[in-house]
């Protein structure tokens, strides 16, 4: 399974969840992004944890943390690459928020039946690999419910909002 996760993450085409409805091109945008990291990141982490919990409890999946991440005191007792899907919603929500707010590793959520992967990293990094067409409308709806945007990055680098 870990080999399949690595293979999915190598894809140049993927979907991702973003907090803005457009694709900024101005270098001045970095100043605004730093402001959002300081002020909006906790709210973003809450929103992502709600979306992920709804998906986790709707589809069979396995959840893994990277080795670097599990060395954090807040995640003590979790072995790297050990399936933590059996954790309570409260514990998983705390872990998801920890991953987003303290960027030192990744959480991988592999949906076994649908064969797609969600990788959550630090800050605003939520990437979906091989997202099936039949799940895309639900995820788009969940993002919309939280005031977030589901976007697609094509192999040619073009980025579009999924509506």
pLDDT number for residue 72: 63
Q: How big is the chain, counted in residues? A: 163
Residues 6+ apart with CB under 8 A from 137: none
Mean pLDDT to the nearest integer, 139-143: 96
Sequence spans of domains, the chain = 2-161
The tens digit of pLDDT for each residue in 46-55 reads 999 999 999 9
Evaluate whether 20 touches 150 at the Cβ level (below 8 Å). Answer: no
The tens digit of pLDDT for each residue in 103-128 reads 778 899 999 999 999 999 988 999 99
């Amino acid at each position: 399974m870990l080999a399949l996760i690595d293979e999915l993450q190598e894809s140049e085409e993927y979907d991702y969840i973003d907090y803005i409805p457009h694709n900024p091109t101005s270098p001045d945008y970095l100043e605004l992004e730093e402001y959002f990291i300081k002020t909006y990141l906790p709210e973003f982490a809450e929103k992502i944890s709600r979306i992920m919990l709804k998906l986790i409890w709707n589809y069979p999946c396995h959840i893994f943390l990277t080795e670097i991440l599990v060395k954090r005191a807040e995640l003590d007792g979790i072995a790297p690459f050990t399936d933590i899907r059996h954790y309570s919603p409260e514990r998983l929500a705390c872990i998801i928020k920890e991953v987003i707010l303290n960027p030192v590793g990744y959480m991988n959520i592999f949906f076994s039946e649908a064969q797609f992967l969600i990788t959550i990293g630090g800050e605003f990094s939520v990437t979906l690999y091989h997202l099936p067409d039949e799940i895309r409308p639900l995820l788009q709806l969940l993002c919309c419910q939280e005031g977030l945007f589901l976007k697609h990055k094509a192999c040619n680098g073009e980025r579009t909002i999924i509506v």
